[in-house]
Homo-oligomer: A and B are copies of this chain.
Amino acid sequence: MSRKIAIGKIALLLASLAEEELDYFRPTLKELSFCQGKVGSMNMQKVISAVETAAKRNGIIHESLYRETHALYHAILEAIKGVTRDQPAIGEMSRTVGLRFSVVRGAPYANEAEGEWISVAFYGTIGAPVKGLEHETIGLGINHI
């Protein structure tokens, strides 16, 4: 079984690159369904909600199907673990995040029977709730859908 499209890498580039930096990758984007967004918060619930809302509004997942919500939720959770690297409680740990995110849905494997997968990527900053006291952070989650 070989991979056809790296939906994780694409999600990460969508979350971290500027518009002009993305030009090189536009052809691949055409084969995929994706959305992008931004969220800044000391509350992880707001981060999760921003991604879920964007994915539903842009038709990346079927809003009324729990199995799709479930697939997305666990992909978000995995991506958050990369962002926080310790425990997902951010406000409680006196941290704030400023993140760009993306959700990508597509068929990454050459074998059609492997079906669709979803990836969630975050790129931005994490740090003290004081402007500038922060450094970069990244997270990626992938799930079958």
Contacts and interface: CB of A to CB of B under 8 A. Distances in A.
Interface of A: 1-2, 6-9, 12, 16, 21, 24-25, 43-45, 48-49, 52, 65-67, 69-71, 73-74, 77-78, 81-83, 85-89, 91-94, 108-109, 113-115, 117, 119, 121, 123, 127-128, 131-144
Contacts of A71: 144
Given A132-B66, A136-B8, A74 B74 contact: yes
A101 to B, nearest CB: 14
Contacts of A132: 1-2, 66
B67 A115 contact: yes
A82 B48 contact: no
